Amino acid sequence: MSVSDVTAGWEAPPGSAVEEALVYSGHAITRRASVKRDHNEVQRALREAIEDPEVQVIVIVGGTGLAKDDITLEAVESFEEKPLPGFGEALRRLPEAGTGPESCLLRGAAFVSEGKLVFCLPGSDDLARSAAEHLIGPVLEGAVKEANR
C-alpha cells in the first residue's frame, strides 16, 4: 500500500520499487492500494488488508516522514500487537538511509497484527527498495510462519 498526496504524474506509483524487489526475490503481490495521507483512509486500507485471507504481509510505503501530513505511523499504531523494533534500527543502518546524524530522523516500523506482518517504509524509492531487498524479502518466509504460530 502506498500513502501519498498525489500519484498523477509519477513515472511509477509509490511502492513500485518495493513490489519489484519482492517479486524478484520470489514473493507474490496479491493486492495493492494507494491511499491519501489521511488517518482514516490509512486505517481503512490496513484493516481491509488484515481481513483479506490471501494477505500475509503488508508493506506500507510513504507517509513516515517528519512533516505534519506524514501520518502513517500514527495511523497504524493502534493495530500493533507485537512490535519489531529491530526493523527500524536496521532500516537506519542501510546505506541509502544516509550517514551521520540525518539517519536518526528516519521513521520506519514493523509489527505483527492479527498474525500478519506489517512493514512501514519511507517513500524514498531507493531506501524502500533496499529495505525490501535486504531486510524484508530475506526474512518473510520464516517470519510469516512464526507470526502465525
Which of 18-21's residues contact partners 24+ apart within 8 Å by CB, and which partners? 18/59, 18/61, 18/121, 18/128, 18/129, 18/131, 18/132, 20/129, 21/129, 21/132, 21/133, 21/137
pLDDT at position 17 is: 87
* pTM assigned to the model: 0.91
Confidence of residue 5 (pLDDT cuts 50, 70, 90): low
Flag whether pLDDT at 133 surpasses 50: yes
Kindly write down the DSSP assignment for every residue of 75-104, as one continuous string.
HHGGG-SEE-HHHHHHHHHSGGG-SSGGGG
User: How many other β-carbons are positioned within 10 Å of the β-carbon of residue 91?
Assistant: 28
User: How many other β-carbons are positioned within 10 Å of the β-carbon of residue 104?
Assistant: 9
Burial of 98: CB neighbours in 10 Å, binned 0-12, 13-18, 19+ = middle
Structural domain count, the chain: 1
User: How many other β-carbons are positioned within 10 Å of the β-carbon of residue 77?
Assistant: 12
pLDDT tens-digit readout, 73-131:
999 999 999 999 999 999 999 988 877 788 888 999 999 999 999 999 999 889 999 99
- CATH number, domain containing residue 82: 3.40.980.10
Confidence of residue 9 (pLDDT cuts 50, 70, 90): very low
**37 within 8 A of 73, measured Cβ to Cβ:** no
Q: How many CA atoms lie within 13 A of 149 on its CB side?
A: 6
Spatial CB neighbours of 142, under 8 Å, sequence gap ≥ 6:
none
pLDDT at position 61 is: 93
As given in the structure block, the three cell numbers for residue 1 are: 500500500
Which domain range does residue 97 map to? 2-147
